[in-house]
Structure 1
Amino acid sequence: MDDIFEFLEKIRNDNRINGVRYSQHFLDEVARILSLRGFDDARLFLWDSLNREDVQGQINSILITLSKMESVKNLKNDLKLCGYIIRNKMEFIR
C-alpha cells in the first residue's frame, strides 16, 4: 500500500502532470478503457486521440501517469483502481 501512496506523491509533484488542465470527460473515457481493457488499449486510445486539439495537452501527461502506474506492482494488477485514479486525477494532484 505504501507504494501506491508513493506513486500518488510522485504524480502530485510532477509538473508535467499537475501543470495540465484536464477534461473530466476525457479522463472518464481513458479510465473506462483502462479499467476494462488494460494499459495497452488505453495507450492506443491516447495515441489515436493525438489529432484531437481539445485534448492534445492532456495526452502526454496521461501517458506519463500510465507508465508510472504500470511500474507499481499493486496498481498494475488492479485495473479498476488504476481507472479510479485516472478518473479522479484532478483530486489526486491537488
Structure 2
Amino acid sequence: ELLADFIGVFNDMTDEAGHPALHPDPAVGYPEGQSLAQHLRRGGSKGLIYPSVRAPAPGGNCLVCFEPHAIQNVRPGASWDLVWDGTPHYSIAAVS
C-alpha cells in the first residue's frame, strides 16, 4: 500500500451519481469519462474526485490526478501477506 498527499483544488463530482461518465456500462461511461477528462484538463483542472463504482458505500471515492507534481509525500502504508495454495481459498494478513 502506498499513501500520498494531493496538493491543490480538484473538481468534485461525488454528488453527481447520474453523470454519464459514471454510467456502469463501459460503452457509455468510458467515452463520456474520456470526454470529461479532456474538457477538465483543457480547463486547467488538477484532477477529479468521483464516486467509486466498485466501492459505492459512503466515502467510497476515487481520485484522478492530471498533474504529477500535485502528488506529494509518497510513502509506504500498510503491508499485507497474501497466502494462496493454488485452491480457491486464500488468506490475507496484515504485516506488522
Report TM bin, short chain: 0.3 to 0.5
Question: TM-score, normalised on structure 1?
Answer: 0.33
Highest RCO, 1 vs 2 (Cα 8 Å, sep ≥ 6): 1
TM-score by length of 2: 0.32
Q: Which has the higher strand share?
A: 2
Structure (1 or 2) with the larger CA radius of gyration:
2
